[in-house]
A and B are shown apart, each in its own frame.
Chain A
Amino acid sequence: MRNAPDSIKVPSFVSISMQILPLWPISMALSQLARDLLRTHPQILNRIDKYQNQKFMLDITDLPFALLLDPAQARLRAFRRSAAPEADARISGTLAAFLAMLHGVEDGDSLYFSGVLQIEGDTSAVLALRNALDDAELDLSEEIARALPLLAPPLRLALAPLERLTGLHLRRVPLEVY
């Protein structure tokens, strides 16, 4: 079943509890994930091409922090919005929208046309990133399991119930879903 990504929000008890957590462990884990992901999918950087050095702010509106992606340095770090550095481009939307786009459930343009995703700054760079990630056919759950092997067994067990519970698309969708 497909959920409209604009109707799903991260539950507030989750985002509130995240507010009090320190961000550096998250940044470390995310950067580990980014490095691993770019290493195993070299075509991503090829497609981003001349926009590699741009900094992308992924502003996931229902999380208490925004993510700064620096493809050239293979870095993905979390920042409180009040302390977020300048970026060349900013993509804002719900976690559900980001995950649905990444996993091939939703079309990025459609999310943009309907206002679920907003874009500011270097539009070309955003397009390059979007197209590169779309071509990579990522499955975030698999990538996390590979990048952070300790998490793999519990993640595999929790995935299906977690998807049901949250309504988020945590895995790449097989085509039959459409």
Chain B
Amino acid sequence: MELVCPAGTPAALRAAVDAGAHCIYCGFADETNARNFPGLNFSRAELADAVGYAHARGAKVLVAINTFPTAGHEALWHSAVADAERAGADAVILADLGLLAYAAEHHPDLRRHLSVQAAAANPDAINFYASAFDVRRVVLPRVLSVEEIAAINREIDVETEVFVFGGLCVMAEGRCSLSSYATGRSPNMNGVCSPPEHVDYATDGAESVARLGGFTIHRTPKGEAAPYPTLCKGCFTSGDKTGHVFEDAVSLDASTLVPRLAKAGVTALKIEGRQRSRAYVAQIVRAFRAVTDALEAGRTPPELALARLSEGQAATTGAYAKTWR
């Protein structure tokens, strides 16, 4: 199986390649990609160098241009597609209908993958994107069980890629405006969720309070480890219940499900975390490469001990297990 690994910087990309990534995905340093964080991502020149580095070592580079272009400013997204092709990218990862149509028309030879931000969650959606825009691979939204993924693969002709590790969206990706409701900036429009410039930490008695756009996301005893105040991972009150209404501060670890995902017909395994460091990328990629290598050789994959790298130091198999819903 192909391992698709994140890189927020050229150093992280080299770390991923050296650690055994088959494929690295990255984005330009602007609003065209869904990890538009300060200090992150690639200039045009950096991308060209990175593609050279990866190709020389047999790895591929995918460029995520997976936000939804702003009306009146589509040129920024169009030039991103053209520049990705010029840099020698092996594919672009797109979500927006209009951008898919543009890329199919103007860059027909540039391979197109459907971003998870398009939330294509059933065979009809996937077949629609495949037939309308000749999409060759679909990154499946994190809302499906392994059984459903297997059923989808029986009904489609394109490759599927699924997330196996990292941050976990509980909402259908690309279809969530919680962040802009509280802060004015959203994944779809700006490539950021719960953006750091709207985070405010305060102290209230013996507790630390984390707010996002003025809304309290969690309170923790002072000095205790606190998760980043991501909106859907917050602690809230509803009636007589107080707790993590949407999702706990956990992240996805589907490493134990890799053999089942292979059997379900999945082509590629995706690791989330373009915002993470090269140390993270190297450790996770190396660990998952051991899993895919073992699988290829017919051995039992090793169990990974990656909890320390997870947000909240806790992991879930998410929607892959049906009980999650």
**A–B contact, 8 Å CB criterion (strictly below):** yes
Listed stretches A26-34, A118-126, A147-155; interface member: A118-126
Q: Is A178's beta carbon under 8 Å from chain B?
A: yes
Listed stretches A12-20, A61-69, A105-113; interface member: A105-113
Residues of A within 8 A of B195 (CB): 124
Cα(A104)–Cα(B14), bound, Å: 13
Q: Is A7's beta carbon under 8 Å from chain B?
A: no
**B277 and A129 contact, CB distance less than 8 A:** no
- How many of chain A's residues touch chain B, expressed as a range? 35 or more
Known: A134-B278, A175-B282, A178-B286. A114 touches B308 (CB 8 A): yes
Q: Is A130's beta carbon under 8 Å from chain B?
A: yes
**A129 and B19 contact, CB distance less than 8 A:** no
**A131 and B40 contact, CB distance less than 8 A:** yes
Q: Is B248's beta carbon under 8 Å from chain A?
A: no
Listed stretches B3-11, B154-162, B262-270; interface member: B3-11
**B18 and A108 contact, CB distance less than 8 A:** no
Q: Is A60's beta carbon under 8 Å from chain B?
A: no
What's the count of A-B pairs with C-beta under 8 Å?
A: 101
Cα(A115)–Cα(B225), bound, Å: 4
Which residues in window 52-93 of B have CB below 8 A to A?
none
Residues of B within 8 A of A110 (CB): 280, 308-309
Residues of B within 8 A of A114 (CB): 225, 308, 313
- Least distance between A144 CB and chain B CB atoms (Å): 20
Residues of B within 8 A of A126 (CB): 196
**B278 and A113 contact, CB distance less than 8 A:** no
Cα(A46)–Cα(B44), bound, Å: 14
A-B contact pairs, 23 of them (CB 8 A): A49-B38, A51-B39, A101-B279, A107-B309, A109-B276, A113-B227, A114-B313, A119-B201, A120-B201, A122-B197, A123-B196, A123-B199, A125-B38, A128-B38, A134-B279, A135-B10, A135-B12, A137-B11, A175-B15, A175-B18, A175-B282, A178-B19, A178-B286
**B279 and A105 contact, CB distance less than 8 A:** yes
- Least distance between B222 CB and chain A CB atoms (Å): 11
Residues of A within 8 A of B313 (CB): 113-114
Which residues in window 90-107 of A have CB below 8 A to B?
101, 104-107
